[in-house]
Amino acid sequence: MTPSRQFPADHFLNRELSLLAFNRRVLAQAADEHVPLLERLRFLCIVSSNLDEFFEIRVAGLKEQIKLGSHAGGADGMTPLEVYRRVTVLAHGLIADQYALLNDVILPALAREDIAFLRRSLWTEAQRDWIHDFFVNEVMPVLTPIGLDPSHPFPRVLNKSLNFAVELEGTDAFGRNSGAAIVQAPRALPRVIRLPKELSGIDHGFVFLSSILHEFVGELFTGMSVLGCYQFRVTRNSDLFVDDEEVKNLRIALQGELPQRHFGDAVRLEIADNCSPAMAEFLLQQFGLDLSDLYRVPGIVNLVRLMSVPDQVDRPDLMYQPFQPGLPKVLAKRYDIFASIRKHDILIHHPFQAFNPVIQLLQQASDDPQVIAIKMTVYRTGTDSVLMQHLLRAAERGKEVTVVVELMARFDEEANLSIAARLEEVGAHVVYGVVGYKTHAKMLMVLRREDHGYRRYIHLGTGNYHPRTTRFYTDFGLLTSNPEIGDDVNEVFKQLTGLGKATALKHLWQAPFSLHSNMLASIRGEIDAALAGKPARIIAKMNSLLEPEIIEALYEASSAGVSIDLIVRGVCSLRPGIKGLSENIRVRSVIGRFLEHHRIFYFHADGRQNIYLSSADWMERNFFRRIEISFPVLEPKLKQRVLKEGLKPYLADNCQAWEMNGDGEYLIKPSRRNRSSAQELLLADLGVSVVSVT
């Protein structure tokens, strides 16, 4: 149950403002000349993708609260209206800086490398002919222009889709002269089209779909004059609502709700900066938005579409140097995964080490006649995941396969519904956890019959079972056959698939039951040690830090003299370095090539050095509204590995680490001498080899 204690509002920073500050740090990667050019373009696109979700979820939530007349603030005390006003100002500034960086820096730099986006005004006659043929043959057949008049009302506009508002003059064959039309660009059309080299005159010449439509839109309105054509894009509320108390079948309820995601309430309107004031006002009225929700942009309205460009350009010299993930020494040669895990626990550090051992565990389990049952949680994995293929094969071979599929994994709901249906078709047991609690724990359990009875083989992770993201996210995975951990994992699966009271677990801390209280108890253990004059130390690495009671406990620990280092990639509501409150707390955020994703919690514990890994951030939702686990690293050698690889390099990073102050501002001071980059160090230490670019 969520704590109801109230703490001073000035102890906390606002969540939404902190999230925008995080995107500022990501944008700084796009501005960093030390980052390869095409990767800078990717970072620019990532900011757009992040902001889309920010508007779809966070801004949409603020607007809902304002509409309902709510004045209730969060822990920081700001009302929804106050937050919305500040967010609007900061978001406009961030987006303006983003486009300035694109237009003034990134695109000119790409052009110098023969990677260019050809402007309409500069097309040659030959280029125009080719592009016109493309329009006639590939684009025009799938377009449905909609003239606006009493029999053609304003169309339903999909969330984040590309559309064009067209101002017209003249009358058509039926004498209509409404003066306006809407053209919706189907999502099947590519937004960036590559021209043949012999036409573009450069190695990599592209043209935007929006440029093509602007140039030839008149052909959709025969005999009419086009006065203006303006691209626009609307962002909608994409949060799904399923009534936990009323729902009878979560799967059916979700299937009914998903189609509405594309047509939720509008929260943001992006338009081309040349759009006429009259058309901008008309569009705002159609979507029920205010002027503050209008974002005029000098370029294409969806920068996420540029994410495909690096993959279309064969320029490895403009991208991060490729690397080959390594393997723990015990798995470096041909191995029997079960024998290796029986020998001792195995820690895998992604992406520096390969995800393949986890795939190997599931593959061998599906083929091994001694394996009786497989149980697994699925939050995000992808519909074409090799893990799913092994689960399907295991079920087809008659093994007892149980999969806990989280249907409410945001933006993965449709993929997970598809996975659930395929598993059920081959006889697997599919359950959806507990209504009202997202199953976010990452667990895989294989039950194998051996000489002395059954043995459980376990994988626990800080990240998703998604082979693709394991190449870009930093995460830890633990393979173990420890019987007590196996008992704990089995107990959690029993809760998820059956009914019964929660029992005390031997090693795992579990949300919503014991995770919060055990974290608090560990912090208080360090407080007691400090007050007794003993060494006291806390190091925690996570994505987000928001939960008020944990933050207050950290303040108390700081006041008692506990040395605290927090590595928080994204949102942080704690104020570090404030005299009398948090002068012994330091907060840093590391932004680099890989998305920092693992959650690591270190407590000195009177020299025992307790280390827990988890899929849970220090947020209310993770502690009280999700099913999460935090698992200990028990073997001393593996503890030292976590310290050496997961914490110390990030505390020593002087290249990509941003230091946070008590006002929520982040500063980075890259060192020119004795450079230390955590991610580069780990690539060198753990990767098999770095492939040279020729």
> CB within 8 A of 531, min separation 6: which ones?
560, 561
* Residue 410 pLDDT class (50, 70, 90 cuts): low
Record: fold of 324-504: Endonuclease; Chain A (3.30.870)
* Residue 77 pLDDT class (50, 70, 90 cuts): very high
Average pLDDT over residues 566-579: 97
Q: In whole angstroms, what is the distance from residue 390 CA to residue 628 CA?
A: 25
Q: To which CATH superfamily is domain 9-318 assigned?
A: Polyphosphate kinase middle domain (3.30.1840.10)
What contacts 24+ positions apart, CB below 8 Å, involve 419-424? 419/378, 419/381, 419/383, 419/388, 420/251, 422/388, 422/392, 423/388, 423/391, 423/392, 423/395
For the cut 90, the answer to whether the pLDDT of residue 292 exceeds it is yes
Q: What SS3 class is residue 125?
A: helix
Q: In whole angstroms, what is the distance from residue 337 CA to residue 360 CA?
A: 7
Phi, psi of 33 (to 5 degrees): -70, -15
Does the domain made of 510-690 have the CATH classification 3.40.50.2300? no
For the cut 50, the answer to whether the pLDDT of residue 314 exceeds it is yes
Phi, psi of 368 (to 5 degrees): -75, 120
For the cut 70, the answer to whether the pLDDT of residue 353 exceeds it is yes
Q: For the segment 326-348, what is each residue's pLDDT rounded down to a tens digit?
A: 988 888 776 789 999 999 999 99
**Helices within 344-380 (DSSP H only):** 356-367
Q: In which residue are the tokens 């939404």 written? A: 16
Nearest to 177 by CA among 224, 228, 216, 227: 224
Q: Write down the pLDDT at residue 450.
A: 93
Amino acid at 633: V
What tokens does 345 get? Answer: 């626990």
* Residue 278 pLDDT class (50, 70, 90 cuts): very high
Q: By percentage, how much of the chain surpasses pLDDT 70?
A: 91
Tell me the pTM.
0.92
* Residue 258 pLDDT class (50, 70, 90 cuts): very low
DSSP for residue 516: H
Based on the number of CB atoms within 10 Å of its own CB, is 264 exposed (0-12), middle (13-18) or buried (19 or more)? middle
Q: Which residues are catalytic?
A: 440
Average pLDDT over residues 368-390: 86
Q: In whole angstroms, what is the distance from residue 674 CA to residue 409 CA?
A: 42
Contact 69, 41 (CB under 8 A): no
| 575 CA to centre of own chain | 24
For the cut 80, the answer to whether the pLDDT of residue 394 exceeds it is yes
DSSP for residue 224: P
For the cut 90, the answer to whether the pLDDT of residue 688 exceeds it is no
Average pLDDT over residues 384-400: 88
429-431 and 400-405 as β-strands: parallel, antiparallel, unpaired? parallel
DSSP for residue 218: G
Helix 15-31, helix 37-53: angle, nearest 10: 160
Q: What SS3 class is residue 487?
A: helix
Q: In which residue are the tokens 């373009």 written? A: 41
CA distances from 49 to 19, 52, 200, 457, 625 (A): 13, 5, 29, 38, 26
> Considering only 40-49, 130-139, 218-227, 268-277, which range has the smallest mean pLDDT?
218-227
Contact 187, 163 (CB under 8 A): no
Q: For the segment 604-630, what is each residue's pLDDT rounded down to a tens digit?
A: 999 999 999 999 999 999 999 999 999
Average pLDDT over residues 178-207: 91
Please list, residue by residue across 373-402, b when 16 or more beta carbons sit within 10 angstroms of its beta carbon and e when fewer do. bbbbbbbbbbeebebbebbbbbbeeebebb
Q: In whole angstroms, what is the distance from residue 45 CA to residue 99 CA?
A: 11
Average pLDDT over residues 133-137: 96
> Considering only 110-119, 138-147, 522-531, 558-567, which range has the smallest mean pLDDT?
138-147
Average pLDDT over residues 114-130: 95
Helix 250-257, helix 413-425: angle, nearest 10: 140
* Mean pLDDT computed over every residue of the chain: 90
End-to-end CA distance of the chain: 57
Q: Write down the pLDDT at residue 331.
A: 85
Pinpoint the residues of the chain covered by CATH 3.30.870.10.
Answer: 324-504, 510-690
Q: For the segment 24-57, what is each residue's pLDDT rounded down to a tens digit?
A: 999 999 999 999 999 999 999 999 999 999 999 9
Based on the number of CB atoms within 10 Å of its own CB, is 317 exposed (0-12), middle (13-18) or buried (19 or more)? exposed
Q: Write down the pLDDT at residue 412.
A: 54
Helix%, strand%, coil% for the chain, nearest 5? 40, 25, 35
Q: Write down the pLDDT at residue 1.
A: 44
For the cut 80, the answer to whether the pLDDT of residue 165 exceeds it is yes
Please list, residue by residue across 576-601, b when 16 or more beta carbons sit within 10 angstroms of its beta carbon and e when fewer do. bbbeebbebbbbbbbbbbbbbbbbbb
Q: What SS3 class is residue 190?
A: coil
* Residue 150 pLDDT class (50, 70, 90 cuts): low
What tokens does 330 get? Answer: 């015990």
Q: Write down the pLDDT at residue 256.
A: 47
| 248 CA to centre of own chain | 30
Q: Write down the pLDDT at residue 692.
A: 39
Based on the number of CB atoms within 10 Å of its own CB, is 497 exposed (0-12), middle (13-18) or buried (19 or more)? middle
For the cut 80, the answer to whether the pLDDT of residue 146 exceeds it is yes
Q: Write down the pLDDT at residue 422.
A: 81
Contact 228, 124 (CB under 8 A): no
334: left (phi over 0), alpha (psi -120 to 50) or beta: beta
Q: For the segment 235-255, what is each residue's pLDDT rounded down to a tens digit?
A: 999 875 444 444 445 445 444
Q: In whole angstroms, what is the distance from residue 139 CA to residue 159 CA?
A: 21
Q: In whole angstroms, what is the distance from residue 208 CA to residue 102 CA?
A: 15
Amino acid at 510: Q
For the cut 70, the answer to whether the pLDDT of residue 179 exceeds it is yes
Top-ranked range on mean pLDDT: pick from 210-219, 221-230, 423-432: 210-219
